[in-house]
Amino acid sequence: MPAHAAEFTEFARVHTPALLRSAYLLTGDQHLAEDLVQVALSRTHRSWQRIDGNASAYTRRIMYHLQVSWWRKKRVREQFSDEPTRRAATEETDVALRLTVRDALLSLSPKQRAVVVLRFFEDRSVAEAAAILGCSPGTVKTQTSRALGHLRSALPELTELVEGGR
């Protein structure tokens, strides 16, 4: 196996779990997240020898651009069940909260969701998020503000939970 193939294989092995978590937050669906990561990794592999720098950032940028492209092409919204799957009684509250957060994230625009994932899930700076999304820092700030306002109005119980835990 050539050295670059071994390097890419190791990169994919190490980074796939984190990429899947980010992709799930972007798509809201495990299967779509797996598809997104697979396509992003295949494109990263094709460019592997030309990547100069952080391959993880390169792959994430591909993921974000692919997801926005898929959103533009697909205008059909999936309908999720209002009823969480049956779980142990102690897990029901966590499951309901996860579903509520997921539904709120899915109600954001594609750019707003990407900004929220980058800024708060991946803890990226405004400048890093702007570079990944290919937009200005001002756009990132505006989209972040709008997204947080929407999430605060959609999830008042989460706001109370966060403020109560301080």
| Domain boundaries defined on the chain | 1-77, 88-166
Main-chain dihedrals φ then ψ at residue 69, nearest 5 degrees = -60, -45
What is the CATH code for 1-77? 1.10.1740
Is residue 86 over pLDDT 50?
A: no
pTM for the whole structure: 0.54
pLDDT score at 21 = 92
Contacts of 38 (CB under 8 A, 6+ apart): none
The candidate with the shortest Cα–Cα distance to 35, out of 69, 76, 11, is: 69
Does 3.30.470.20 match the CATH number of domain 88-166?
A: no
Region 8-26: mean pLDDT is 93
CA distance 108 to 114: 9
Residue 43's CB is within 10 A of a number of other CB atoms, namely: 16
> For residue 53, what is the DSSP state?
S
Burial label, 135 (beta-carbon count in 10 A; 0-12, 13-18, 19+) = middle
Is-contact 17 56, C-beta < 8 A? Answer: no
Q: What is the pLDDT of residues 87-126, one digit of tens each?
A: 444 455 667 777 777 888 888 888 898 898 889 888 889 9
Burial label, 7 (beta-carbon count in 10 A; 0-12, 13-18, 19+) = middle
